[in-house]
């Protein structure tokens, strides 16, 4: 038998993802006890990315728990643009800006765009009135649910796809 796992949505698209050496086709639910946390994160991310079904309805990890996929501290502006060029709207990463502050680099309206993330006594955000999130992870989770357009009308998207993908 092939070493595959079927998409947990059970739609008739026949989607399968290779995952190590599984003895037979299994559902994600049956695998939970056999996979490490890191393997579950990678599998869920891969199924959601390739199938787009949401895998198990609400079983998706919050973006704050996938920080290694979107926080790229050593990535500069030029590398960030190259990494995101041609990717779908909502693909993003957070990096260090040349000023030392963090910056969001995101694809919106088909273009790679950048926003400085400010730090204040109240928290982090895109400007003083919006610097209310206690951490980068909290900011990411908020804008995964709400459009960045509430902050900047040129960014009519949410944070949807971390820049890094899992192999």
CATH code of the domain occupying 66-162: 3.30.505.10
pLDDT per residue over 106-126, tens digit each?
Answer: 999 999 999 999 998 889 998
| 27-50: average pLDDT | 53
Please return the burial class of 74, using the count of CB atoms within 10 Å of its CB with bins 0-12, 13-18 and 19+: exposed
Closest CA to 161 of 59, 19, 60, 13: 60
Asked if residue 108 lies in contact with residue 155, where contact means CB atoms within 8 angstroms, the answer is yes
pLDDT per residue over 55-73, tens digit each?
Answer: 333 445 788 889 999 999 9
Its pTM stands at: 0.65
Longest dimension (CA), the chain: 58
Extents of the domains making up the chain: 4-61, 66-162
Share of the chain above pLDDT 90, in %: 48
Name every residue whose Cβ is closer than 8 Å to that of residue 16 and which is 6 or more positions away in sequence: 2, 4, 5, 6, 7, 25
Can you read off the two tokens belonging to residue 87? 């990717």
């Amino acid at each position: 038998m092939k070493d595959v796992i079927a998409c947990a949505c059970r739609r008739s698209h026949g989607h399968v993802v290779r995952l190590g050496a599984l003895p037979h086709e299994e559902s994600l639910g049956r695998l939970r006890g056999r996979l490490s946390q890191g393997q579950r994160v990678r599998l869920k991310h891969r199924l959601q990315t390739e199938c787009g079904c949401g895998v198990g309805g609400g079983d998706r990890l919050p973006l704050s728990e996938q920080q290694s996929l979107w926080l790229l501290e050593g990535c500069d502006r030029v590398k960030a643009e190259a990494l995101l060029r041609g990717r779908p709207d909502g693909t993003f990463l957070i990096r260090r800006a040349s000023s030392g502050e963090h910056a969001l680099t995101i694809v919106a309206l088909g273009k790679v765009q950048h926003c400085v993330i400010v730090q204040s006594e109240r928290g982090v955000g895109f400007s003083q009135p919006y610097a209310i999130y206690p951490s980068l992870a909290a900011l990411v989770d908020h804008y995964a649910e709400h459009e960045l357009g509430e902050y900047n009308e040129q960014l009519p998207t949410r944070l949807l796809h971390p820049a890094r993908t899992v192999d």
